[in-house]
Amino acid sequence: MVLEFQDVSIDYPNGFRAASGVSFSVEAGQCLAIVGESGSGKTTLARAALGILPKGSRVSGSIRTGDTEIVGASEKTLRRVRGLMAGFVSQEPFSSFNPIARVYDHLAEAWRVHARRPDALTIYGSLEDLGIENASRTTDKYPFEWSGGMLQRAAIAAAATHRPTIIIADEPTSALDTSRAESILAALKASRAALLLISHDIGLVRRYADKIAVCYEGRIVEIGEAARIFSRPQHEHTKSLLHDASAETENEDQITSDRVVLEAKDLRKTYVRAGAEMHAVRRADLTVRSGEIVGICGPSGSGKSTLLRLLATIDTPTHGTVLFENDLVTSGDSRKLQGRKARTGFVMPIFQDPLSSLNANWKVWRIVTEPLEAKHRSEKLTRSEKRDIAQQILAKVGLESLDLDTRPRRLSVGQSQRISIARALIASPKLIVADEPTSALDVSVSRKILGLFAKIAAAGTAIVIVSHDQSMLKNLCHRVLRMDEGVLLN
């Protein structure tokens, strides 16, 4: 038994009960995966195991690793536990590395904090085992010169430095695409430590976990052998999680149209900051047909958001062209928009933060019908006509019972995002571009939003979605393209 939770309840300083009555155990060499929606308490459990909960949190019950009790342990005990017995791989690789220290120093630190002299050859070896070539040279670089995937592997190497009995990995693959995620998990398994894996990626969990615990509202609602959980889920919530994950939309062969809506040729965008050139987009060619959903994935900083702004003609490219239905709209030669289709609601955006997308002082009906005020529309509508239209369009996005006079502050994030979508639809766009439209939402809410996207596309509107969540894109999109260091790979 390398890690055991017995009846653990955790209250945050603000009184929020993040976990209640949680019990589970991890045996040596075993991989236990905790799955659940965001906000279900998964990360809290990982932090509790390492004694790194926010100050003032109250923990009851017992958490033991080996012979050591963690609940109420002194900082000295905890320090020994972290690293020697348990390694930690965090969610966001960039934020867990100090940007002004070289990668080598991070790995060496894992030795020094336990009063051991770092051994360069062992460090290089551990990285090369994880597929990082030329470790002796690359570790001389700074974290921001590494990619997210490489840093994540370095974090694993650091966590595994002292052959800990258990590695706790909180969403170790959320910033990575599938092939890299697989190699990370393979590397974690190869360390031969037991693994407490926190993940929302059911597909990955299925391949690597021995045991699965399903977390819901701070409780473990179901726990068991992975194979059993997948074949005979007991709890309703488990079933719906599995259902969400397997809900592959069968739109692979549904592209009914070959009408090209958007064509982007050799797009590039270079920013000049403080005299230095920053190539946000180096090369991107893209053709989107009507009714098609195209996903663009890639790590943060790969230029995917910038590309989306170029496609939507929010920004003008430094080089290259964007055509709407064969009609030139922007090009690198001119900072002005051209063509009849520019600024006509041809392309409408959906943003990551639904709340800031809505004018906080307007009522819902006014927000939704704003595109009807566009210059190119000659008809003048009365207030009651607009309210009728708003009512109809809100019904289309599943908000038929919403009061038209609500203001955004009374809406949930999910409702706000639906209103953004309703507003986009009212402009009758040929193309919708969405930048991480679900990253602020819960699993179940985002599933509904994605379902809405699928419906919109089926009605003929093309959609380009940018996200780092590759499994989400795979389920939803007809095509998923990768963006890497400013280059759109086909």
Partner 1 sequence: MHSEFFSNRSAVAGVILAAFLLLFITILPLASQHEPNVQNPARKLRGPDSENLLGTDQFGRDVLTRVAVGGRRSLGAAVAVIGLTLGLSVFAGIVIALVGGIIDSVVSRIIEVVLAVPSVILALAIVGVLGVGYLNLLVAVVLSFLAYYARLARGYALSASQRPDVITARLAGIGWMRITGTHIAPDVFRQMLIVATLDLGGVIVTIASLSFLGLGAQPPDAEWGAMLGEARFFFTTAPHLLLAPSFAILLTIISVNLIGNRLKRIE
| Site of interaction with partner 1 (CB under 8 A) | 312-314, 343-345, 347-349, 351, 353, 356-359, 361, 367, 370-371, 373-377, 420, 423-424, 427
CB 33 within 8 A of CB 212: yes
DSSP string of 264-332, one letter each residue: EEEEEEEEEETTEEEEEEEEEEEEEETT-EEEEE--TTSSHHHHHHHHTTSS--SEEEEEETTEEEEET
Q: Which is nearer to partner 1, 120 or 374 (CB)?
A: 374
Rounded CA gap, 234 and 223, in Å? Answer: 10
Instruction: Sort 365 into a burial class: Cβ within 10 Å, 0-12 / 13-18 / 19+.
Output: buried
- How many whole angstroms from its chain centre is CA 60? 32
For residue 268, give the nearest of 245, 247, 250, 284 by alpha carbon.
Answer: 284
- State in angstroms the smallest separation of the CB of 455 from partner 1: 20
Rounded CA gap, 65 and 287, in Å? Answer: 54
Angle at 436 between CA 468 and CA 310, to 5 degrees: 100
- State in angstroms the smallest separation of the CB of 346 from partner 1: 8
Provide the angle, in degrees to the nearest 10, between the axes of the packed helices 413-426 and 383-396: 120
Determine the residue type at 257: S
CB 138 within 8 A of CB 169: no
- State in angstroms the smallest separation of the CB of 267 from partner 1: 18
Provide the angle, in degrees to the nearest 10, between the axes of the packed helices 148-159 and 103-112: 10
